[in-house]
Homo-oligomer: A and B are copies of this chain.
Amino acid sequence: MKVLITGGGGFLGRRLAARLLQRGTLGNAESREEKIERITLFDKIPVSGFDDPRIRVVTGDASDPATLDEIVDAATDSIFHLAAVVSSQAEEDFDLGLSINVDVSRRLFEACRKLGHRPKVIFTSSLAVYGGALPELVRDDTALAPKSSYGVQKAIVELLLSDYRRKGFIDGRVFRLPTISVRPGKPNKAASSFASGIIREPLNNAPSVCPVKPDEQLWLMSPRQAIECLIHGHDLGAEAFEPWPVLNLPGVTVAVREMVEVLGKVAGEAATRLIRWEIDPTIQRIIHSWPTRWDMSRARQLGFEGDPDFESIVRAFIKDDMAG
């Protein structure tokens, strides 16, 4: 198996690579476990920190038309396409969002089509594809009316992937990730960045700003569980993704207030006092447009599992990302 991870330097890309190296195998086109021989980590800045002969690091500009033809080679079996401009950034810079989130994805599908052997392409989408008036319970086939450029761009690529799949050019699958929390590292420009920050920073004894009201609800998944779901989704047979290749992954619904309560329980009341509440109307509006109640029957039927609760998400972060 030869695997490509775009956005390989991002925190999900790195974590996916580490987990794949640890597993050593991945389901091939016939869903049989096969040895992983190569993992290409592609990103715009060099990916470092991997000391394994199976890792190949390629650095380049995905928006340069030649780049993808170079990294998607005849031996490529599977691609995890994680490279993206995050939500707030796509909202601020409309052109950059379209270029990276839409055009690069299309160019990637096109590079795969040229190979002729129908590689697996795993694309991560987002709950930001939803918006507007939503039913009580959001289903995989609830209509999309995104209220952000990021959501529009993800929805466009979902459609594009479905057609590349239908035409037999790629074995594409789309997984809509809940908001990932707790992310390690620094805050980013995602509207949901605070959903990690209000836990991560206080746990590291640093202050954090919460830009939304305490009663806002979020739909969350730990990085650990997200990686397991992407690998599970990769390994399933193509028939699992008929008639439509887009699946919402199972998350945990939690109010921001409850997140802070869990923080207090796990790290003590002092930690919660490191959070300053300062509503940002733009972020508040975006977050409020995201749905929080989901019908997970199809995902569960296909064997996808979410985190049991928010406390276990916090404890997973402490174990996975705060070692030492």
Instruction: Count the copies.
Output: 2
> Are the CB atoms of B145 and A143 closer together than 8 Å?
no
Main secondary structure of the interface of A (DSSP, over half): loop
Q: Which residues of B contact A71 (CB under 8 A)?
A: none
> Are the CB atoms of B159 and A146 closer together than 8 Å?
yes
> Are the CB atoms of A152 and B142 closer together than 8 Å?
no
Once A94-B167, A133-B243, A243-B133 are accepted as A-B contacts, the answer to whether A152 and B147 lie under 8 Å apart by CB is no
> Are the CB atoms of B132 and A149 closer together than 8 Å?
no
Q: Does A294 contact B (CB under 8 A)?
A: no
Once A143-B141, A156-B156, A167-B149 are accepted as A-B contacts, the answer to whether A132 and B243 lie under 8 Å apart by CB is yes
Could you mark each residue 186-207 of chain A with 1 if its beta carbon is under 8 Å from any beta carbon of chain B, else 0? 0000000000000000000000
Give bound CA distance, A156 to B94, whole Å: 16
Q: State the Cβ distance, A95 to closest chain B Cβ, in Å.
A: 9
Q: Which residues of B contact A144 (CB under 8 A)?
A: 143-144, 159
Residues facing B in A125-184 (CB within 8 A) are: 132-133, 141-147, 149, 152, 155-156, 159-160, 162-163, 166-167
Q: Interface of A with B (CB < 8 Å)?
A: 94, 132-133, 141-147, 149, 152, 155-156, 159-160, 162-163, 166-167, 243-244
